[in-house]
Structure formats: C-alpha cells, structure tokens
C-alpha cells in the first residue's frame, strides 16, 4: 500500500491510541492524531501529524478530513474512568456520546469511511457466564459502559441507513506498554492495577486490594489482561478487514485467561524484584468477581492471535516503561 494513505486516529495521544498509531506506522499508514489533549499527551504523538481539536467540533473535524483525505478512522477519544462516570454522568454523555455523534455526523458529510471503534467489555455488565462471548447480554452497570453501548448503537444504525462500515472492539483489561519503550501508559490519576502495583513497588508505597472475599480461588477479583500492543494490532487488522470489504461486527479482544489481583501483585514483585506492601480494603460497588472474555470471533474474523499474552511479559514491558519515566 502507498505510504501516503492516512488514517484519522481520534484520541491518538492517549494510551491505546498512541500504540495503535505506532502499529499503523509500522504497516505503512500515516496516522493523523486528532486529540484535544485534555487527557492525551503530546509526547506520545510520534508517528504522524497531530491536529488539536474536539471530536464534537464538526467544522474542525471536516477541515482535518479535507486536509488529509484519510482512508479510514480509528475512534479512541473518550473519557474512561468508571468512578468518574458514576460521579459525573453528564460529562460522559457529553464527551463520549455527543462527541461521537458530532464526529460521525462530520464523517458522513465527508464520506462513510471504514470506522474502527474503541469499545469495552464494560458494555456487558455483570457476567452471566464465563467466558463472555459477543452474544452475552449488554447490560452495563455504570455510565461509562452505557456511553460505549450507545455509540455501538449509533454505528449499527449508521451502518444500516448510511452504509458506514464499522468494527467495534470490546476489549478487556488493557495492560503493558510498547515493548520497544517508545511510548507507554500515562494516566492521571492512574487507575489500572498493574501500573498501580508497579508504582507501589518503585516508591515503597502500600497497595490497596479492594476486597479479598470474592468467590475466587484466592478471594480477589480475576481479570483478563490484554497487552496494549496486541490491542493495537487488532485495530490495524480491523482497518485492513473493512477496507477489503469485510462485514461490520462487534468483536471481543481478550486472552481468555484470568489472573487474580494477588497473582498480579506476586508477578509485579517478581518482575520488579521488590516487595509490595498491601492493605485489604472493602470491595468497590459493582466489581464482578471474574471477567474473562472469549476471543474466538476475533480470531475467526481478523486472524487476531495475541503475541504478548503472558502476564509476566505484560508486567515486564510496563516496568521498563515506568523505569524510563523515572529517570
């Protein structure tokens, strides 16, 4: 393919968007990052041009589309803190839902380009069976998950009425960092378990375990961790698939194996070579005991097979990135 083929990457200055931008560049695309930098980081934009703007600003979006003439869109731009969404649901409705609506309206005024959406397993809510398949009922239990489900609904409607080709990727717990150390996870505040445990190891701080009385082998929550580089690879595969005429679909991104909080802490201690002090605190409302996804469909549709599925590998990549940020 031509090196001049541009992909618009909204939210490309964030954690997953920046890794997807690198994966696009490695495939010969030019990622055009569109980000308002309210939560993104300019120093993560390394693989193509940066255009600063809001996704809800239709005129600005159209100007960027006309300037670069992209062949497809990846949409990551969203607020993604579950707790914040509970406290400020109106913020999430405005940014995640209305912002996405503005982006899609601007896109359709240009042309219905292949569209890959960053969705989430939070659209499923409390699991009724494990592993969670794409047929699992979507009954989100927080406003964050609700906003992602609403955007998926928009995509279905626009696919049917306007011919928009789309893929929604519902991923489980994104983890790790770029194995080459160019980019990585930067959140303020940080809420993800692995970086929190590694920062506790680095700083000698006490890590909190939210509940140790779940119906799991060691009493702590079990989650399905997926390396961010594998997630990025799936996004590029989704672009290729849609550009080749593939049918629209929603797909899980998961490793189909779970690790408990205590297992993650033990692996963080092993990788860092440091003990992590821990404190058991009450459960957080709405935390399921176990979340493990099925990625059979992503393998069948996209040929996606995670390459960095080992927990040790994910934690080692995250530890290397954290060390580089500390120097």
The stretches of 43-88 forming alpha helices (DSSP H) are 58-68, 82-87
Evaluated on CA atoms 63, 68, 71, 77, the torsion sign reads negative
Q: Whole-angstrom Cα distance, residue 128 to residue 124?
A: 9
Q: Whole-angstrom Cα distance, residue 276 to residue 204?
A: 7
Q: Whole-angstrom Cα distance, residue 312 to residue 272?
A: 11
Find the catalytic residue in 34, 92, 144, 171.
144
Q: Alpha-carbon dihedral of residues 282, 284, 289, 294, nearest 10 degrees?
A: -150
Q: Whole-angstrom Cα distance, residue 10 to residue 102?
A: 12
**Is residue 225 among the annotated active site residues?**
no
Q: End-to-end CA distance of the chain: give it in Å, rounded.
A: 39
For residue 243, count CB atoms less than 10 angstroms from its CB and return exposed for 0-12, middle for 13-18, buried for 19 or more.
middle
Structure token digits, residue 191: 């809420």
Q: Are strands 249-253 and 166-171 parallel, antiparallel or unpaired?
A: parallel
Nearest partner of 322 among 149, 198, 157, 190, judged by Cα: 198
Question: Reduced to 3 states, what is the DSSP secondary structure of residue 280?
Answer: strand
Q: Residue 80 contacts by C-beta under 8 Å, 6 or more apart in sequence?
A: 120, 144
Q: Whole-angstrom Cα distance, residue 26 to residue 20?
A: 10
Q: Which residues are catalytic?
A: 144
């Amino acid at each position: 393919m031509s090196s001049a083929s541009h992909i618009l990457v909204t939210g490309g200055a964030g954690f997953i968007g920046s890794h997807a931008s690198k994966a696009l560049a490695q495939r010969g695309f030019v990622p055009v990052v569109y980000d308002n930098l309210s939560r993104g980081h300019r120093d993560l934009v390394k693989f193509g041009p940066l255009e600063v703007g809001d996704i809800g600003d239709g005129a600005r979006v159209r100007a960027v589309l006309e300037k670069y003439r992209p062949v497809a869109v990846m949409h990551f731009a969203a607020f993604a803190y579950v707790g914040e969404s509970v406290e400020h649901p109106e913020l999430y409705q405005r940014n995640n839902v209305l912002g996405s609506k503005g982006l899609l309206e601007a896109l359709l005024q240009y042309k219905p380009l292949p569209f890959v959406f960053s969705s989430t397993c939070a659209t499923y809510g409390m699991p009724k069976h494990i592993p969670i398949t794409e047929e699992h009922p979507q009954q989100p239990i927080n406003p964050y998950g609700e906003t992602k489900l609403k955007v998926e609904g928009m995509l279905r409607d626009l696919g049917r009425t306007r011919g928009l080709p789309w893929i929604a990727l519902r991923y489980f717990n994104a983890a790790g960092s770029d194995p080459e150390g160019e980019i990585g996870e930067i959140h303020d505040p940080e809420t993800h378990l692995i970086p929190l445990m590694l920062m506790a190891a680095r700083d000698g701080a006490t890590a909190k375990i939210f509940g140790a009385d779940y119906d799991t082998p060691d009493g702590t929550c079990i989650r399905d961790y997926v390396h961010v580089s594998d997630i990025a690879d799936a996004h590029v595969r989704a672009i290729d698939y849609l550009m080749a005429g593939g049918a629209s679909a929603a797909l899980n991104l998961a490793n189909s194996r779970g690790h408990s909080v205590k297992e993650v802490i033990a692996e963080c201690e092993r990788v860092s070579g440091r003990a992590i002090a821990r404190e058991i605190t009450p459960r957080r409302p709405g935390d399921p005991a176990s979340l493990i996804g099925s990625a059979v469909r992503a393998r069948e549709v996209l040929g996606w097979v995670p390459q960095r599925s080992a927990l040790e590998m994910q934690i080692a990549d995250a530890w290397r990135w954290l060390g580089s940020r500390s120097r």
